[in-house]
């Protein structure tokens, strides 16, 4: 059988996937890729899985051999994906993650491999910005590959440029949606992924140019400020429940999760997991901080006075249907089906 | 005798290293090293109690829901709140959805590919198994991945997304579903059942669940056409390699019990050691004598547990603590759950050959069949438009304990709350039990015991038998040390 044609500009691309200070959730999410499945998606993009911790056969010595040969330049490394933060503690020694079987801190392996990779891709908010691993007092001294929270720099430094001439590509998310990863990799393989495809924080604009708010099925409640008060209520979760969907950069409500889900569709707040620092919001995750009854975090590019004026107007005009449904766990007042003429 | 360091093990969740003393073609002693520390228990200190629902699922991407369920249960215990029936059913369905997806992932992606290794090229089954289970390229991969993704659509409906959902609350579920969604859940379960019957078992779930002894399992296997189902393929490989002789640990099994139902848990709580034994959660303690942790001399109950990492701790060789039940080493997981619950087949298998590689895999597959069956019943019992969630305020001073079962075994959270903040949060995960280091009496953990006696072939660098034993526990290293 002749070799199939792949959607890849430069023949086959080698992908090496490593995990460090994270939970493996971005991989587990990635395995949910659909239409096509993950293995077919990689095949289609002409991506050769050099090694992946959940999928590959090679273990222990066989794996160490791959790493050594990549670092020596015997195997070209086109795509280096890191999932999980870079763990630098305690006191900068990296001893909180010694890569098994090697006696060497994982951070040293990451540095050596980044130096020979054509593209370096941080997968998930831990690898991009530090994420959940960096919460609290950051006990493991975790950092992202090229960001430490909001500040550029991180483990590889502000000036790091991969072989391709590009900085680290930050596929942020906790976890990442499978398509954010497969489509970014496929775009790279096609040769169409340049810095113009990345936002200010290094995230692919394919999903970071959107807000979680877009396509939220609770939009009508939002418009009339008909708000949920408790878990399982149907109303908008911005006023009381800590929802950051109007500020969060991601397309979760237009590109759904696990078939037909999203956080907001699941009845709980968006915690803005694609953003640096999401792990320490400065208030309880499920409560909206307020000053004089007005939520502190409002949509980012809307003048505050406008928002407050509009909100009080729309609140005054809230139909009974939305007011009552907002604090119920199923529709208690149905849509009016009569037309104006028949009223 | 020679000392060998093996790692990293892939196709386990997280990073793992094993030190082996090898003499005369067998493993004589073993030390299990968990090489990654992140510090979730430190991160949780001082947090708002409800925030634990955001942090703990992110301990682990494969046991994410189990972590949420344990947190919600610990907070519910502290708040003294119960769930409406719909809440319990929804949480059961969400947890079962994850646990069964994990069993499937383990079998197809993590465990079976090792039999397609070159070292087995002279085995009569090699060609067939390689075609089917070879890592990445085997025909099973492209069948199992879509089956798994479709299956996890239940998460999309009931939990918003997976992993890392906030739908699981102390008082129930944040997602109240409608009748149409109930119908969809039932159709997803039906479709998955079809995959199980056509591909995994090659027989109806009823027939699989009616196998009541080791002898009946042998009869079932004899009647199967060759190369007919993945269960049959596994059993034949297992017979050929005598996997029932590999990886025996202490044979002391524990299960916290799981899937709450009005008439009691679907799988009951208890301890089994050649018979039913009493189980007192108060007798759980963690020993730090061989961990990279600052420690006092006496093991502590998790309510009093302390987590202060110290890479230079004397005698330390892993970040993992050593949990013990009444001072004893226990094994947890699907095998433990099923033997404690009283599955006739599993009790018979354990009576004949104890806990081992073969029986651990059979128990996992059997559990897929029984849980999927129960899920249909729970989905039928949902009553759309009745309540899914209760809500009460968290007291400023309280403590609570949440015990549940993840795919890979018993998971416990213990939380103490003072002045409205988390004073102490301690977690003992399934693989903390199974892959614990030695304790102050020098007694090895379950995997360390299970590895002793494993055969090492001439010239083998990373003994394949060791890999089978390690993976038979379906370890989750990111949970183990959190």
* pLDDT one-digit tens code per residue, B127-144: 999 999 999 999 999 999
**B135 contact A CB<8A:** yes
Quickly list DSSP for A56-108: -S--HHHHHHHHHHHHTTSS-EEEEEEESBEE--STTS-TTBEETTTTEEHHH
Domain co-membership, A56 together with A178: yes
Q: Is residue A74 part of a domain?
A: yes
Domain co-membership, A224 together with A196: no
- Nearest CB among B58, B176, B311 relative to A132 is that of B58
Domain co-membership, A24 together with A91: yes
Q: Is residue A199 part of a domain?
A: yes
CA-to-CA separations, B462 to B26, B27, B114, in angstroms, rounded: 13, 12, 12
Q: CA B46, B50, B52: angle at the middle one, nearest 5?
A: 65
In this prediction the ipTM stands at 0.97
Q: Which residues of A95-130 are buried (b: 16+ CB within 10 A; e: fewer)?
A: bbbbbbbbeebbbebbeebbebbbbbbbbbbbbbbb
B86: CB partners within 8 A, 6+ apart? B172, B173, B176, B382, B383, B386, B387, B388
Mean pLDDT of B357-372: 98
Q: Which of A179, A207, A235 corresponds to the end of one domain? A: A207
| Separation in Å, CA of B310 to nearest CA in chain A | 9
Full domain range(s) for residue A322: 210-329
Between chain A and chain B, the number of residue pairs with CB atoms below 8 A apart is 271
| A298/A144 Cα distance (integer angstroms) | 27
pLDDT band at A1 (very low <50, low <70, confident <90, very high): low
Determine the length of chain A.
343
Cβ distance B61 to A25 less than 8 Å, yes or no, reads yes
Peptide bond into B474 cis (omega under 30): no
The number of beta carbons lying within 10 Å of the beta carbon of residue A322 is 20
Q: Which residues of B touch A218 (CB under 8 A)?
A: none
Q: A6 pLDDT exceeds 80?
A: no
DSSP letter, residue A131: G
Q: Which of A165, A182, A207 corresponds to the end of one domain? A: A207
- pLDDT for res A295: 82
Domain co-membership, A221 together with A322: yes
Query: Residue A102 is part of a domain; what is its CATH number?
Result: 3.40.50.700
Q: Which residues of B touch A96 (CB under 8 A)?
A: 36-38, 309, 311, 319
Average pLDDT, chain B: 97
- Nearest CB among A21, A101, A258 relative to B161 is that of A258
- pLDDT for res A340: 63
What structural domains and CATH numbers belong to chain B? Answer: 2-480 (1.10.645.10)
Number of domains present in the structure of chain A: 2
The residue in chain A having the minimum alpha-carbon distance to the alpha carbon of residue B174 is A232
Cβ distance A59 to B152 less than 8 Å, yes or no, reads no
Mean pLDDT of A231-257: 97
CA-to-CA separations, A163 to A77, A331, B261, B333, in angstroms, rounded: 10, 55, 57, 45
Do A253 and A215 touch, CB atoms closer than 8 A? Answer: yes
Classify residue A3 as exposed, middle or buried by CB count within 10 Å of its CB (0-12, 13-18, 19+). Answer: exposed
Torsion-angle region of residue B349: left (phi > 0), alpha (psi -120 to 50) or beta? Answer: alpha
Q: Is residue A82 part of a domain?
A: yes
Copy the structure tokens of residue B87. 């809440």
Q: Which of A186, A207, A228 corresponds to the end of one domain? A: A207
Q: Which residues of A touch B61 (CB under 8 A)?
A: 22-29, 175
Cβ distance A132 to B178 less than 8 Å, yes or no, reads no
- Nearest CB among A60, A139, A231 relative to B6 is that of A60
- Nearest CB among A33, A232, A252 relative to B176 is that of A232
Long-range residue pairs from A159-166, CB within 8 A, at least 24 positions apart, any chain: A160/A114, A160/A120, A162/A80, A162/A114, A162/A117, A162/A118, A162/A119, A162/A120, A163/A116, A163/A117, A163/A118, A163/A119, A164/A118, A164/A119, A166/A119, A166/A194, A166/A195
Domain co-membership, A151 together with A225: no
Domain co-membership, A216 together with A200: no
Q: Which residues of A touch B166 (CB under 8 A)?
A: 263, 266, 268-269, 271, 285-286
Q: Is residue A334 part of a domain?
A: no
Q: Is residue A229 part of a domain?
A: yes
Query: Look-up: residue for tokens 């998971």?
Result: B411
pLDDT band at A342 (very low <50, low <70, confident <90, very high): low
Q: Is residue A8 part of a domain?
A: no
Closest CA to B294 of B324, B267, B272, B314: B314
Domain co-membership, A79 together with A99: yes
- Nearest CB among B39, B319, B385 relative to A330 is that of B385
Mean pLDDT of B432-451: 98
| A316/B100 Cα distance (integer angstroms) | 49
CA torsion sign for A95, A100, A103, A105 is negative
Strands A77-83 and B284-287: unpaired
- Nearest CB among B60, B116, B160 relative to A23 is that of B60
Domain co-membership, A43 together with A126: yes
| A49/A15 Cα distance (integer angstroms) | 5
pLDDT band at A3 (very low <50, low <70, confident <90, very high): low
Cβ distance B47 to A58 less than 8 Å, yes or no, reads no
Closest CA to B416 of B328, B306, B334: B306
pLDDT band at B381 (very low <50, low <70, confident <90, very high): very high
Q: Which residues of A touch B158 (CB under 8 A)?
A: 266
**B155 contact A CB<8A:** yes
pTM: 0.98
pLDDT tens, residue by residue, A9-20: 667 999 999 999
Domain co-membership, A89 together with A174: yes
pLDDT band at B194 (very low <50, low <70, confident <90, very high): very high
Max distance between CA atoms of chain B, in angstroms, equals 67
Cβ distance A57 to B172 less than 8 Å, yes or no, reads no
pLDDT tens, residue by residue, B450-474: 999 999 999 898 999 999 999 999 9
pLDDT tens, residue by residue, B315-332: 999 999 999 999 999 999
- Nearest CB among B8, B161, B176 relative to A60 is that of B8
Cβ distance B44 to A136 less than 8 Å, yes or no, reads yes
Do B257 and B405 touch, CB atoms closer than 8 A? Answer: yes
Which residues 3-42 of B are in CB contact (within 8 Å) with A?
Answer: 5-11, 13-17, 33, 35-39, 42
Q: Is residue A325 part of a domain?
A: yes
Classify residue A221 as exposed, middle or buried by CB count within 10 Å of its CB (0-12, 13-18, 19+). Answer: buried
Q: Is residue A83 part of a domain?
A: yes
| Separation in Å, CA of B336 to nearest CA in chain A | 25
DSSP letter, residue A192: -
Domain co-membership, A254 together with A155: no
Do B79 and B392 touch, CB atoms closer than 8 A? Answer: yes
Order the strands of the B17-23 sheet from edge to edge: B2-6, B17-23, B26-33
| B202/B64 Cα distance (integer angstroms) | 31
User: What percent of chain A lies above the pLDDT cut of 90?
Assistant: 86
Domain co-membership, A135 together with A217: no
Closest CA to A109 of A18, A245, A194: A18
| B236/B217 Cα distance (integer angstroms) | 12
Cβ distance A33 to B14 less than 8 Å, yes or no, reads no
Domain co-membership, A301 together with A179: no
Q: Which residues of B touch A136 (CB under 8 A)?
A: 39, 42-47
pLDDT tens, residue by residue, B36-94: 999 999 999 999 999 999 999 999 999 999 999 999 999 999 999 999 999 999 999 99
Q: A293 pLDDT exceeds 90?
A: no
Cβ distance B160 to A257 less than 8 Å, yes or no, reads yes
Cβ distance A271 to B54 less than 8 Å, yes or no, reads yes
| Separation in Å, CA of A256 to nearest CA in chain B | 8
| A38/A179 Cα distance (integer angstroms) | 9
């Amino acid at each position: 059988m002749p070799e199939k044609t792949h959607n890849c500009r430069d023949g086959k691309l080698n992908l090496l996937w490593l995990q460090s200070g994270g939970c493996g959730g971005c991989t587990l999410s990635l395995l949910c890729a659909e239409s096509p499945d993950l293995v077919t998606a990689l095949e289609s993009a002409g991506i050769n899985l050099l090694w992946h911790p959940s999928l590959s056969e090679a273990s222990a010595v066989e794996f160490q051999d791959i790493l050594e040969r990549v670092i020596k330049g015997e195997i070209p490394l086109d795509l280096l994906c890191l999932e999980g933060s870079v763990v630098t503690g305690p006191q900068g020694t990296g001893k909180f993650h010694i890569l098994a079987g090697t006696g060497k801190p994982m951070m040293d392996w990451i540095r050596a491999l980044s130096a020979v990779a054509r593209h370096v891709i941080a997968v998930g908010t831990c690898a991009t910005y530090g994420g959940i691993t960096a919460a609290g007092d950051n006990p493991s001294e975790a950092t992202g590959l090229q960001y430490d929270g909001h500040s550029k720099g991180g483990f590889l430094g502000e000036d790091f440029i991969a072989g391709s001439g590009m900085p680290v590509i930050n596929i942020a998310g906790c976890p990442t949606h499978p398509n954010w990863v497969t489509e970014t990799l496929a775009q790279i393989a096609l040769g169409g992924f340049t810095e113009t495809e990345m936002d200010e924080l290094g995230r692919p604009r394919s999903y970071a140019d959107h807000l979680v708010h877009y396509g939220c099925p609770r939009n009508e409640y939002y418009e009339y400020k008909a708000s949920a008060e408790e878990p399982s209520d149907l109303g908008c979760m911005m006023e009381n429940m800590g929802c950051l969907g109007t500020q969060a950069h991601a397309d979760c409500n237009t590109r759904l999760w696990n078939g037909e889900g999203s956080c907001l569709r699941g009845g709980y707040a968006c915690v803005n997991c694609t953003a640096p620092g999401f792990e320490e919001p400065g208030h309880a995750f499920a409560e909206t901080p307020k000053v004089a009854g007005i939520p502190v975090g409002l949509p980012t590019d809307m003048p505050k006075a406008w928002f407050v004026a509009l909100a009080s107007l729309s609140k005054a005009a809230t139909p009974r249907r939305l007011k009552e449904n907002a604090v119920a766990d199923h529709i208690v007042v149905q849509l009016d089906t009569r037309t104006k003429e028949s009223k | 005798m020679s000392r060998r360091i093996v790692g990293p093990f892939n196709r386990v969740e997280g990073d793992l290293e094993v030190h082996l003393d090898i003499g005369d073609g067998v493993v004589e002693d073993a030390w299990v090293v968990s090489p990654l520390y992140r510090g979730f228990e430190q991160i949780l200190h001082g947090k708002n109690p409800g925030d634990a629902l955001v942090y703990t699922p992110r301990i682990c991407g494969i046991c994410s829901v189990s972590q949420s369920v344990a947190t919600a249960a610990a907070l519910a215990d502290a708040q003294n709140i119960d769930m409406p029936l719909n809440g319990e059913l929804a949480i059961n369905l969400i947890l079962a959805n994850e646990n069964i997806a994990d069993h499937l992932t383990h079998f197809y992606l993590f465990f079976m590919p090792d039999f397609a290794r070159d070292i087995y090229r002279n085995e009569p089954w090699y060609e067939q198994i390689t075609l089917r289970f070879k890592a990445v390229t085997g025909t099973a991969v492209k069948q199992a991945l879509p089956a798994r993704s479709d299956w996890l659509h239940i998460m999309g409906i009931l939990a918003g997304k997976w992993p890392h959902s906030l739908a699981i609350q102390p008082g129930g579920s944040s997602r109240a579903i409608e009748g149409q969604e109930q119908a969809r859940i039932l159709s997803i379960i039906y479709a998955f059942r079809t995959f199980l019957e056509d591909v995994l078992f090659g027989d109806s779930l009823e027939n699989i669940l009616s196998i009541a002894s080791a002898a009946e399992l042998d009869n079932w296997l004899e009647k199967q056409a060759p190369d007919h189902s993945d269960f049959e393929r596994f059993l034949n490989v297992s017979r050929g390699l005598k996997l029932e002789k590999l990886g025996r640990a202490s044979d002391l099994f524990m299960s916290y019990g799981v899937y709450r139902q009005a008439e009691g848990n679907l799988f009951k709580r208890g301890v089994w050691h050649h018979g039913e034994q009493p189980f007192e959660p108060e007798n759980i303690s963690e020993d730090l004598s061989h961990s990279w942790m600052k420690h006092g001399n006496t093991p502590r109950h998790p309510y009093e547990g302390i987590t202060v990492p110290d890479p230079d701790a004397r005698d330390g060789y892993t970040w993992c603590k050593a949990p013990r039940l009444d001072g004893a080493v226990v094994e947890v997981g699907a095998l433990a759950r099923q033997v404690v619950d009283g599955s006739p087949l599993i009790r018979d298998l354990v009576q004949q050959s104890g806990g081992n590689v073969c029986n651990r895999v059979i128990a996992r597959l059997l559990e897929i069949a029984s849980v999927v069956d129960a899920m249909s019943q729970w989905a039928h019992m949902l009553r759309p438009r009745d309540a899914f969630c209760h809500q009460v305020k968290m007291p400023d001073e309280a403590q609570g304990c949440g015990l549940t079962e993840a795919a890979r075994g018993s998971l416990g959270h213990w939380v103490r709350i003072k002045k409205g903040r988390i004073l102490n949060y301690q977690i003992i995960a399934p693989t903390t039990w199974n892959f614990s280091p030695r304790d102050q009496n020098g007694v090895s953990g379950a995997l360390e015991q299970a590895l002793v006696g494993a055969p090492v072939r001439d010239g083998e660098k990373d003994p394949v038998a060791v890999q089978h034993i390690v993976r038979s526990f379906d370890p989750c290293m990111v949970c183990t040390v959190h």
